[in-house]
Amino acid sequence: MKRRTILMLLAAVSLAGCATTSASGSASSAGSGAHGSFPLTVSSANGPVTIKSEPHRIVSVSASATSMIYDIGAGSQVVAVDKYSTDPPSAPRTALTGFETGAESYLTYRPDLVVLAQDPGGTVSAQLAAAGVPALVLEPATALRDTYAQITTLGRATGQEGGAATENASIKARLATIVREVGGRGRGATYYPELDPTLYSATSHTFIGALFAMLGMVNVADAAGTSGNQYPQLSPEYLIRSDPQYVFLADDVCCGQSATTFASRPGFSVLQAVRRHRVFAVPDSIASEWGPRVVVFLKMVAKDLGVASP
């Protein structure tokens, strides 16, 4: 699990600088209608993908995509998901990891659509295409608009456009409710988001940082970020100087980190977040997913700020 989290973070780092709206999964029409007519063509990171008929044997090798697919109403069309797709719990999990280097493992399930979060070099999607199976590569989001775009794409690709539109509207409304309830409580509050115990963090220009920014919070990692890398590795001295008011640990499951282990690190007991008991753990899976669970993530942060949300 630790290795999986680190690899996903590295993938996010490499993709953050080159992702575009098209690469994130915007839909383009090649069908005759606007209600799931097939064949149709959608755009993804691996280029235009034509889907000849409504898929009924979907393999999702992306935890975020799995959540999206089920939430738009296409769950009954799924035959296999990767081992990290825990939402929903009823999804047909397999031993797939998303780091397979060939298409053979996916073809075992006789899919008519495969959804991937990454495909370095395009090898797997090319092999699937050669076997007559369309594959969508929906890369890690760099902004909320990517989440909405990918949900729209999956709605078209699965014949669930209405469900996708409803889900997007629901996510926007629930996020707005949380922001409204928090009010000014988070405005100006400094925080440090931790991705692993070696002090890798994420700036406000990343997907996860943008969620904190919705609450008006100030990221202490921003000053350490550069245009080429928005996932900087901080030093203990830097963090102590920054003295954040809040700390959010996205490495509790993978790496056993907690408020106690964080406070026990050399010099960290002086941090105001430690002294005021404002060090909180956010489950790795929720912190690393850019699908519908963004609502769960922001709700957890709101709760840690002392605000209860429905």
Check whether residue 163 and residue 223 sit in a common domain.
Answer: no
pLDDT at 27 over 70: no
Single out the residue in 146, 174, 202 at which a domain terminates. Answer: 174
| Res 36: pLDDT | 61
| Domain assignment present for 11 | no
Whether 66 maps to a domain, the answer reads yes
The answer to whether residue 65 is domain-embedded is yes
For the beta carbon of residue 28, count every other beta carbon within 10 angstroms.
Answer: 13
Say yes or no: 128 and 218 in one domain. no
How many helices and strands in the chain, by DSSP H and E?
13, 11
Instruction: Single out the residue in 153, 174, 195 at which a domain terminates.
Output: 174
User: What is the domain-level CATH number for residue 298?
Assistant: 3.40.50.1980
Which residues have C-beta within 8 Å of that of residue 185, sequence separation ≥ 6? 215, 305, 306, 307
- Least confident stretch, 89-93, 228-232, 258-262, 292-296: 228-232
Tens digit of pLDDT for each residue in 121-154? Answer: 999 999 999 999 999 999 999 889 999 999 999 9
Q: Is the same domain home to 228 and 161? A: no
| Residues 51, 164 within the same domain | yes
The length of the chain in residues reads: 310
User: Could you write out the three-class secondary structure of 177-243?
Assistant: HHHHHHCCCCCCCEEEEEEECCCEECCCCCHHHHHHHCCCCEECCHHHCECCECCCECCHHHHHHHC
Cα 105 to Cα 97: distance, rounded to the nearest angstrom: 10
Which neighbouring-strand residues pair with 50?
A: 41
- Choose one of 174, 205, 238: the last residue of a domain: 174
The answer, yes or no, to whether residue 279 has pLDDT greater than 90, is yes
Whether 232 and 283 map to the same domain: the answer is: yes
How far is 48 from 118, CA to CA, in rounded Å? 16
Please state the φ and ψ torsions of residue 286, each to the nearest 5 degrees. Answer: -75, -40
Number of Cβ within a 10 Å radius of residue 94: 18
How many separate domains does the chain show? 2
**227 pLDDT band (50/70/90 cuts)?**
confident
Dihedral sign for Cα atoms in the order 74, 1, 214, 273: positive
Same domain membership, residue 91 and residue 68 = yes
Inform me whether the pLDDT recorded for 20 exceeds 90: no
pTM of the model: 0.86
pLDDT band at 229 (very low <50, low <70, confident <90, very high): confident
Please state which of the ranges 24-28, 213-217, 294-298 shows the lowest mean pLDDT.
24-28
Tokens 């008991």, residue located: 277
30 with 122, same domain: the answer is yes
Q: Are residues 150 and 191 in the same domain?
A: no
Task: For residue 70, give its domain range.
Answer: 21-174
Same domain, yes or no, for 233 and 290? yes
Residue range 85-95: mean pLDDT, rounded: 97
